[in-house]
């Protein structure tokens, strides 16, 4: 609890909530004793606060542009990076075999725990200080997403382009997987009209696909 308070700069009153928020489902048989239900609540809390931040930060942006930025800001990839950055992943409770498998380092697990802690703070009546924390920690990511939206939204941009040309959509193919199960690296090719346009790598399939799509967009002059 002391570490949670240090990370978030928020006084936490209900320790049971935060124990649940940091407990992996494999440790329990009841969803009320792990982060699943709190993650559901935290996801909604996060989207509301980020929507408020974006609404005020970009007064001239359309609903579509705000939605694109938000979708990346609340993605597992972004949340996992923040969770690692603030040291939250080190606090996730997993079984002994899970430690060896590196469960607490998985992108999806870190993101779920991050959202679950938000849900715990919300139920702990800490909505206002929570908003201040998210405003601070998310700003660098929001600014980077805004400046480089093409990089983050490359798959959608590529598909829009190809469909405008001949109504066909790009295909993605895994050509290589390397590394241990909890730290895999994926290499993916993107094909259009049966031909390979570009290749990308990433820690997840989605990330590799985005990188491949981004390279394809550059080659096709879409960006």
Enzyme catalytic residues: 43, 115
Gap between the Cα atoms of 199 and 190, Å rounded:
6
Cα–Cα distance, 105 to 116 (Å, whole number)? 16
> Pairing mode, if any, of strands 171-178 and 185-192?
antiparallel
Q: What is the DSSP string of 158-200?
A: HHHHHHHHHS---EEEEEEEES-GGG-EEEEEEEETTEEEEEE
Distance CA 71, CA 48 (A): 12
Beta-bridged to residue 192, according to DSSP, are 195
- Residue pair 82/137 in contact (Cβ under 8 Å)? The answer is yes
């Amino acid at each position: 609890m002391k570490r949670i308070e240090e990370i978030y700069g928020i006084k936490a009153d209900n320790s049971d909530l935060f124990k649940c928020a940091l407990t992996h489902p494999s440790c329990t048989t009841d969803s009320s004793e792990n982060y699943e239900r709190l993650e559901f609540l935290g996801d909604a809390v996060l989207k509301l606060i980020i929507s408020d931040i974006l609404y005020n930060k970009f007064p001239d942006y359309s609903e579509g542009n705000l939605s694109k930025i938000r979708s990346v800001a609340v993605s597992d990839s972004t949340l996992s990076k923040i969770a690692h950055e603030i040291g939250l992943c080190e606090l996730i409770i997993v079984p002994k075999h899970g430690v060896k498998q590196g469960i607490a380092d998985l992108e999806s697990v870190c993101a779920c725990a991050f959202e679950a802690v938000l849900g715990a703070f919300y139920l702990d009546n800490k909505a206002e200080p929570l908003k201040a924390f998210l405003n601070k920690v998310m700003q660098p990511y929001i600014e980077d997403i805004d400046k480089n939206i093409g990089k983050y939204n490359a798959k959608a941009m590529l598909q829009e382009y190809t469909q405008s040309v001949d109504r066909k959509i790009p295909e993605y193919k895994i050509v290589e997987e390397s590394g241990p199960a909890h730290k895999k690296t994926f290499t993916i090719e993107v094909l259009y009209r049966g031909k390979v346009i570009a290749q990308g790598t990433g820690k997840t399939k989605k990330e590799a696909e985005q990188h491949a799509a981004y390279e394809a967009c550059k080659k096709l002059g879409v960006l």
